[in-house]
Amino acid sequence: MKPLPDALVGQPVSAVDTPSLVIDLDAMERNLARMVAFAKSRKLRLRPHAKMHKSSTLARLQMQAGAVGVCVQKTAEAEVMAAGGVNDIYISNEVIAPAKLQRVVALAQTLARRGGRLAMAVDSLEGVQRLALATRAATGADGLIDVFVELDVGHGRCGVTAPETAVLLAQEIARHPALRFAGLQAYHGRAQHFRGVAERRAAIAAAVALVQRTITLMDQASLKVELVTGAGSGSFALEAGSGVYGELQAGSFMFMDADYARNEADPSQPQFEHALFLKTQVMSVCDDHAVCDAGHKSHAIDSGLPRVHPLSGTPDLEFFNGGDEHGILRGLTPDTRLPAIGDTLWLIPGHCDPTVNLHDVLIGVRGGLETGVVEQLIGVDARGALS
Amino acid sequence: MKPLPDALVGQPVSAVDTPSLVIDLDAMERNLARMVAFAKSRKLRLRPHAKMHKSSTLARLQMQAGAVGVCVQKTAEAEVMAAGGVNDIYISNEVIAPAKLQRVVALAQTLARRGGRLAMAVDSLEGVQRLALATRAATGADGLIDVFVELDVGHGRCGVTAPETAVLLAQEIARHPALRFAGLQAYHGRAQHFRGVAERRAAIAAAVALVQRTITLMDQASLKVELVTGAGSGSFALEAGSGVYGELQAGSFMFMDADYARNEADPSQPQFEHALFLKTQVMSVCDDHAVCDAGHKSHAIDSGLPRVHPLSGTPDLEFFNGGDEHGILRGLTPDTRLPAIGDTLWLIPGHCDPTVNLHDVLIGVRGGLETGVVEQLIGVDARGALS
């Protein structure tokens, strides 16, 4: 991580250079409080996904607020979270390379010594056996690693589709003393972005049905499914109401992005505010467009381009792709006044996770984007932790 | 920049963890030699764009091979290049924020002390005046900064469209003793990716015509256009043959990506080899697809998804978007054999610039991707240098 420009703390938000990722700390904390209250009211564990914020500072904040730990997708992310003081980490993804599995085992031992815990997902016999092999040289490794069997509940990516296969994997896990069968990973990623509540309801109902069939088969094989973990920011109230999920993995609710905001609101789940913004400055203006200094090296484009925040003064501006280093701003109507050179604007990123992953620091502002003050520089210490 | 895993040097390429960006050093060096020879044969200056590789190590390599310096897009990139020992740097982009312009001036003084030079582009009176204001407090600043007037030669982003405006800007530059009017920035970014040679030819012909009209007007105003700088990896032979361009800014030729490879080859320019590869590993397999560990946090998607390299053994595999951390591999034919869990594959990124910007290190391999050895770890020291 690059050194943080800590001279900025205490400065007004107007002093923040561009392009920069700014967190509205008040909005973020309200989002977190709403999610914690929701999980508490449903008696569910909350294990937010740290792949979103990539920051051990924010992971600790979430745990102080009541989260049981964090999820990550990568071994390297787990290592960064552990280095940042997080003791309960779940790699909700498959790990296959022997060198990475050695790191997983070493990390599990480190966390165990600190009174914490490491968990991992598997979806193949090969995966279980490779993990078990990596634990062989570990001393005192009995029950060292919690292992979740991943079901493909509709995403069409990793995970097993047949409950029978899940049972075989759980049985294989049970054969290895260093591994403990901890339950089912059942996350439906695609469903998070289904626009209509009805579509999301149908998708999660199908996921829940598969989970229930799997639990029944596991019961018949005398395998106890202690925990079903999953759910994202688009659907978590549905998983929460299913009676089978015990843990919510949502991550994006903390920051909210333009893509999630396009979902039809589900009245059964709390609503979240945008808390992540990209500050940008106009550097060039001509007859029909203005150019700002935020291109797709500063924001992700996988879920659409950023939206121009109404705070920018000209809410009828649309952001167009200007390449790696530039954004193009055009008026939505012929009489829209284009911004002037030097004007700053606020963008709402299309997708928070890969946008955060482009930045080394999040600039935490207290008191709003117009008159707020920089309170905290939050290192994105797991940025680029790919392995 | 994160610490580099230097224990890898000397290891076989098979030891490289995934997902990782690997440079085929032999191919990269051949690409560089071809471009240097081309520029030399046309008596043109070569100033490769460092926004592509973001590495002061590679910038120095390019200068040792004959480049006069590098281009960058950002003030922070210029600072990283200077810190890495590069003394001739051109910010081929507008800089507007007063705080950044102070940094530009400080950097120009540093480079001048080292016998080097800083240049910058402008496309507005406001931009010239802000830059001039920033030089006011600088002592001994006469002729400190080379300033290029940017023409919009067809990209439709920054730059002035009327030659008359370019003359006004050059006159304004001439009024400020710290600034030196250095010539014209005339880069047609879109033309680089026009697929047909005929389209690219027409686009660059139009660019050249605008440059010529501007030079004529400048002459009439007694303003000497010492240098016209521009051209990218898709079209540089056309600018080179125009008789008006004196400097080539191409960057991608060093690495070549899947998008540039889709261009119809222009027989008048040297051909380049793919030298940048993303190594990935299969982590999950089911009936109709395999999942690898490279998602769009490890490769850019703005110019299409990565292609599967034939070296991977199964050339009839297609890469589909699997989200931030996963890639989906499917067979192109019903009887394609899917790879197995643990297999590694090589991907050719769709667009090299924003792909490199996701990584902290490029792993330089000598002797090819099959049996080569890691020779060098190349820090991407300007990764995330956004400001």
Confidence (pLDDT) at A203: 97
d(CA B48, CA B40): 14
A152 in B contact zone (CB under 8 Å): yes
Per DSSP, the three-state class of A46 is strand
Confidence (pLDDT) at A6: 62
B26 in A contact zone (CB under 8 Å): no
Q: Strands of A45-46's sheet, edge to edge?
A: A45-46, A247-248, A227-230, A179-185, A145-150, A117-122, A88-91, A70-72
Bridge partner list, B21: B278
Which stretch of DSSP H or E encloses residue A328? strand A327-331
Confidence (pLDDT) at A1: 42
Confidence (pLDDT) at A102: 96
- Asked if B328 and A2 come within 8 Å (Cβ–Cβ), the reply is no
d(CA B132, CA B177): 9
Parallel, antiparallel or unpaired: strands A344-348 and A276-285: antiparallel
Confidence (pLDDT) at A311: 84
Structure tokens at B374: 């890691």
Structure tokens at A23: 């967190």
B201 in A contact zone (CB under 8 Å): no
Mutating which of B92, B93, B281, B284 best tests the A interface, going by the most A Cβ atoms within 10 A?
B284
What is the value of ipTM here, to two decimals?
A: 0.96
d(CA A52, CA A316): 29
The verdict on whether omega for the bond into residue A306 sits within 30 degrees of 0, i.e. cis, is no
Q: Which residues of B touch A300 (CB under 8 A)?
A: 296
Closest in A96, A189, A284 to B341, CB measured: A96
Per DSSP, the three-state class of A204 is helix
> Which residues contact residue B185 at a Cβ distance below 8 angstroms, ignoring those fewer than 6 apart?
B92, B121, B148, B149, B150, B151, B159, B229, B230
Q: Which residues of A touch B51 (CB under 8 A)?
A: 324-325
Closest in A286, A298, A354 to B161, CB measured: A286
Q: Searching chain A, which residue's CA lies closest to the CA of residue B190?
A: A323
- Asked if B360 and A158 come within 8 Å (Cβ–Cβ), the reply is no
> Which residues contact residue B359 at a Cβ distance below 8 angstroms, ignoring those fewer than 6 apart?
A384, A386, B20, B21, B298, B380, B383
d(CA B71, CA B166): 21
The minimum CA-CA distance between B354 and chain A, rounded to whole Å, is 6
Report chain B's terminal Cα–Cα distance, integer Å.
Answer: 16
Note which residues in 213-232 of chain B have CB less than 8 A from chain A. Answer: none
Q: What is the CA radius of gyration of chain B?
A: 22
Cα-Cα-Cα-Cα torsion A285, A290, A293, A298, nearest 10 degrees, comes to -170
Q: Which residues of A touch B358 (CB under 8 A)?
A: 357-358, 384, 386
Residue A174, exposed/middle/buried by CB under 10 A (0-12, 13-18, 19+)? middle
Q: Can you give the pTM of this predicted structure?
A: 0.96
How many helices (H) and strands (E) in chain B? 11, 17
Per-residue pLDDT of chain A (387 residues; tens, 9 = 90+): 455 566 799 999 999 999 999 999 999 999 999 999 999 999 999 999 999 999 999 999 999 999 999 999 999 999 999 999 999 999 999 999 999 999 999 999 999 999 999 999 999 999 999 999 999 988 888 999 999 999 999 999 999 999 999 999 999 999 999 999 999 999 999 999 999 999 999 999 999 999 999 999 999 999 999 999 999 999 999 999 999 999 999 999 999 999 999 999 999 999 999 999 999 999 999 999 999 999 999 999 999 999 999 887 777 899 999 999 999 999 988 888 999 999 999 999 999 999 999 999 999 999 999 999 999 999 999 999 999
B373 in A contact zone (CB under 8 Å): no
Query: Three-state SS string across B57-107, please?
Result: HHHHHHHHHCCCCEEECCHHHHHHHHHCCCCEEEECCCCCCHHHHHHHHHH
Q: What is the CA radius of gyration of chain A?
A: 22
Tell me: the pLDDT tens digits for B347-373? 999 999 999 999 999 999 999 999 999
The residue type at A336: T
The residue type at A71: C
B349 in A contact zone (CB under 8 Å): no
- Asked if A358 and B357 come within 8 Å (Cβ–Cβ), the reply is yes
Note which residues in 260-289 of chain A have CB less than 8 A from chain B. Answer: 281-286, 289
Parallel, antiparallel or unpaired: strands B179-185 and B145-150: parallel
Q: Which residues of B touch A296 (CB under 8 A)?
A: 300, 302, 354
The minimum CA-CA distance between B263 and chain A, rounded to whole Å, is 18
Note which residues in 125-144 of chain B have CB less than 8 A from chain A. Answer: 126-127, 130
Q: Which residues of A touch B156 (CB under 8 A)?
A: 289, 328
How many residue pairs from chains A and B have C-beta atoms closer than 8 A? 160
Residues in chain B: 387
**Residue A376 φ/ψ, nearest 5 degrees:** -155, 140
d(CA B334, CA A230): 33
Q: Which residues of A touch B95 (CB under 8 A)?
A: 283
| A88 touches A68 (CB < 8 A) | yes
Confidence (pLDDT) at A312: 75
Q: Searching chain A, which residue's CA lies closest to the CA of residue B304?
A: A302
Cα B373 to chain centroid distance, Å, stands at 26
Confidence (pLDDT) at A2: 52
Residue ranges of chain B with pLDDT lower than 50?
Answer: 1
The minimum CA-CA distance between B41 and chain A, rounded to whole Å, is 31
The minimum CA-CA distance between B164 and chain A, rounded to whole Å, is 14
Residue A94 CB coordination number (10 Å)? 26
d(CA A231, CA A211): 13
Structure tokens at A209: 């049905």
